[in-house]
């Protein structure tokens, strides 16, 4: 069975199919924005958030550390448009 990211980015590494609950606290504005984005994407907030988390985790693994991930560089770690 493929994960959301494997369907969107074939060949990429993603989290395993064994799912566990993860609870995080976010401020009200971020929660509202996530809910709006999930609705636009026709996804549940949980599914949308999972996709974002998997993508961010992949970017973190490529960068090797939060410092490298978030530091401004000539070549960004993020996908360019």
pLDDT digits (tens, 9 = 90+) for 3-44: 555 555 556 555 556 778 889 999 999 999 999 999 999 999
Task: Compare 11 and 46 and report the one with higher pLDDT.
Answer: 46
Q: Work out the number of other CB atoms within 10 angstroms of the CB of residue 49.
A: 18
Angle at 10 between CA 4 and CA 35, to 5 degrees: 25
- 39-66 mean pLDDT: 95
Cα–Cα distance, 7 to 3 (Å, whole number): 6
Domain residue limits, the chain: 29-70
pTM value? 0.64
At CB < 8 A and 24+ separation, what contacts does 15-22 make? Answer: 15/54, 15/57, 22/53
């Amino acid at each position: 069975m493929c994960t959301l990211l494997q369907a969107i980015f074939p060949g990429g590494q993603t989290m395993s199919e064994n799912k566990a609950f993860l609870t995080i606290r976010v401020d009200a504005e971020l929660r509202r924005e996530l809910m709006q984005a999930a609705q636009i994407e026709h996804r549940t907030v949980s599914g949308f958030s999972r996709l974002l988390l998997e993508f961010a985790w992949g970017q973190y693994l490529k960068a090797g550390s939060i410092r490298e991930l978030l530091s401004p560089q000539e070549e960004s770690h993020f996908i360019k448009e």
